[in-house]
Amino acid sequence: MHGMHGPSRSWCVGPAEHSWAASEGHGDCLSSPIPGDCDSSGPSFGSRRRIFPALTVLFLISFLAIPGTLLAQDESPGTPPPRPEDVASVDAIVAAVYDVISGAAGEARDWDRWRSLFVPEARLISVSLNHEQETIYRVMTPEDYVELAGPALEASGFFEEEIGRTQEEFGPMVHRFSTYQSRRSLDDPEPFARGINSFQLLRHRNRWWVVTIYWTSERPDLPIPERYLSGRGGDR
């Protein structure tokens, strides 16, 4: 999902000391259409080791205290009803994501259709490099994307499609590596970007949901392996 970047927080992952730095109000420094830089301040790896066990205990206590309520939130009045055909299969919901964000310059996107595909707690996570060639990531909600990336997509034109897939399934869970290519116009002879979208999907209450989309773009030093450029099977 080249160009999908979040609104307010990016994180630098330092290669030498595994340090993480939060940057409020800044974008992915190399590839984001949203300008900004990435700081070098933030909690050290050592401090995280002390914090994480306590957070794990708090999470378990919270989880056990509210049984049966986590998935009930999919009935939130803020979630528009989906098109039945969009959520009938894994292939259908992945295709719907690509279809919603794609369109010619000046063409409005159906953002209510977009919202209908995600669980209320869904997250979108992009991974890229900043100007110092450090790996950074951004975490956003589907609504963040509508507000920030939507105007740029509609103004400039953007078409993205799946060109390969690799899929794993266990019970109601599906993980799909969806290799994509992006164009500004359907008439463009070559894509301006390629990459991999990692979809985490859930089968719940007789439909499919997007839980997470996690992606990074191809670079000269990071070509897409051939095994991720094939595997386009039938509907599941």
Give all domains of the chain, ordered by start, each with its CATH number.
Answer: 9-228 (3.10.450.50)
Alpha-carbon gap, residue 149 to 32, rounded angstroms: 10
The percentage of residues in the chain with a pLDDT greater than 70, rounded to a whole number, is 66
At residue 15, the pLDDT reads: 40
Alpha-carbon gap, residue 220 to 66, rounded angstroms: 47
Quick one: average pLDDT of 57-70?
A: 49
**DSSP per-residue letters across the chain:** -TT---SSEEEEE-TTT--EEEEET---TTT-SS-----S-S--HHHHHHHHHHHHHHHHHHHHHSTT-TGGGGG-TTSPPPPGGGGSSHHHHHHHHHHHH-B-TTPPP-HHHHHTTEEEEEEEEEEEE-TT--EEEEEE-HHHHHHHTHHHHHHH-BEEEEEEEEEEEETTEEEEEEEEEEESSTT-SS-SEEEEEEEEEEE-SSSEEEEEEEEEE-BTTBPPPGGGS-------
Radius of gyration of the chain (CA): 19
At residue 41, the pLDDT reads: 40
Residue 5 pLDDT grade (very low, low, confident, very high; cuts 50, 70, 90): very low
Query: Per-residue pLDDT tens for 201-227?
Result: 999 999 999 999 999 999 999 999 999
Tell me what the pLDDT averaged over the chain comes to. 78
Query: Per-residue pLDDT tens for 117-142?
Result: 999 999 999 999 999 999 999 999 99
Please determine, for residue 187, whether its predicted confidence score (pLDDT) is greater than 70: yes
Query: Per-residue pLDDT tens for 41-58?
Result: 444 444 444 444 555 554
Question: Beta-carbon neighbour count of residue 77 at 10 Å?
Answer: 5
Quick one: average pLDDT of 56-70?
A: 50
Alpha-carbon gap, residue 145 to 31, rounded angstroms: 15
Quick one: average pLDDT of 155-181?
A: 97
